Structure 1
Amino acid sequence: MSAFLEQFGGIGLAFLGAALAVGLCCVGSARGTGMTGEAAAGLLSTAPEHFSKCLILQVIPGTQGLYGLVIWFFALNVMGAFSGGIQPLTVTQGLTIAVSCLPMAIGGYRSAIYQGRVAAASITIAAKQPNDWSKGIILCVIVEFYAILSLLASILLLMNAL
């Protein structure tokens, strides 16, 4: 068992970290965009002229899924996937890559959900004050800032992982 863990454990841990980054960020983005879409559907049933405003608000919580994909690519790049093949990794190296992906995995998941809640609430602005709907975008951008910090943390950790 120890030989198996030494041979494949590092690679497995690194893949796990990369998968968590993209997977959790995409799940969070799906929840956030879903919440916003549900709120938008209610408004659009009575005021279809607000479709573009609703669409913009719905897209915003989807950015975390893209950030997770960026970290997935970074992790695979560190592992050597784009330069001729995955290099063997020790358990310590694999764990280092996995932990480096966690800021984006956790921060992206949670911020996408919270951003979706803000975007869904901002649909009310579009409904009641159509000229002020962009204030909802500003509220969403404040949440986005923390997703960007998570992205930056994971990138900096991965750049120094091996």
Structure 2
Amino acid sequence: MSQLGIVYALLGAALAVLLAGAGSSIGVGIAGQAASGVVTEDPSKFAKVLIMQLLPGTQGIYGLLVGFITLSKIGLLGGGMLDLTPQQGLLVLAACLPIGIVGLISGKYQGMTSAAAIGIVAKKPEQFGKAMLFPAMVETYAILALLISILSVTNLSF
């Protein structure tokens, strides 16, 4: 029988991990550039700007989580790999796309927002809590995409 279904499902898992991970790496890089400048001027702000830099990293974690759930669902982890039809494989692929696409986009924009928040902390360290809210707003959409991908993957029946 054709292995096309499994190929589509694996492509979905790979895209969830790769796209969300790319978004996180872009975002963490953007925030890291801003953080480096602040720490150069005032090393005592290291902990606060490091937290801001790490915020865009969550999208990569979310993509990895969906990837693991998908591999488990299709039986690649734990043995007993399913024999999926191409249509079933495409359903798995579609279920993985929300976190992949939203993770890529939101990771980049969360990095940009974190960089701006780092600017707030550089000038007014006492406003750290307020500054953290701006990148957290972007995080909301990554969490929504994570939820829809997890619900979609786990509720597929083969």
Q: 2:3 aligns to what SS in structure 1?
A: helix
Alignment partner of 1:18 is 2:3: no
Which of 58, 65, 68 is 1:70 aligned to?
65
Contact 1:32 1:113 in 2 (8 A): yes
Unmatched 5+ residue regions in structure 1?
1-5
Cα distance per residue 1:42-61 (max 9 Å; x no partner): 11111111000010000100
Counterparts of residues 1-162 of structure 1 (less than 5 Å) = 7-162=2-157
Of 8-17 and 80-89, the range deviating more from structure 2: 80-89
Question: 1:159 deviation in Å?
Answer: 1.6
> Are the equivalent residues in 2 in contact too, given 1:118–1:136 (CA < 8 A)?
no
Letter in 1 for 2:23: G
Q: Which runs of 4+ in 1 moved over 3 A?
A: none
Q: What are the Cα deviations for residues 44-100 of structure 1, in whole angstroms up to 9, with x where unaligned? A: 111111000010000100000000001001111110123323211100110000000
SS at match of 2:82: coil
- Offset of 1:12 from its aligned partner? 0.4
Instruction: State the number of aligned residues.
Output: 157
TM-score normalised by length of structure 2: 0.96
Q: Distance in 2 between matches of 1:15 and 1:48?
A: 44
- What secondary structure, in the 3-state scheme, does the structure 2 residue paired with 1:125 have? helix
TM-score computed with the length of structure 1 as normaliser: 0.94
Structure 1, residues 97-143: CA drift from partner, whole Å, max 9, x if none?
00000011011111111110100011111111110022121111111
Q: Which runs of 5+ in 2 are unaligned?
A: none
Percent identity, please: 46
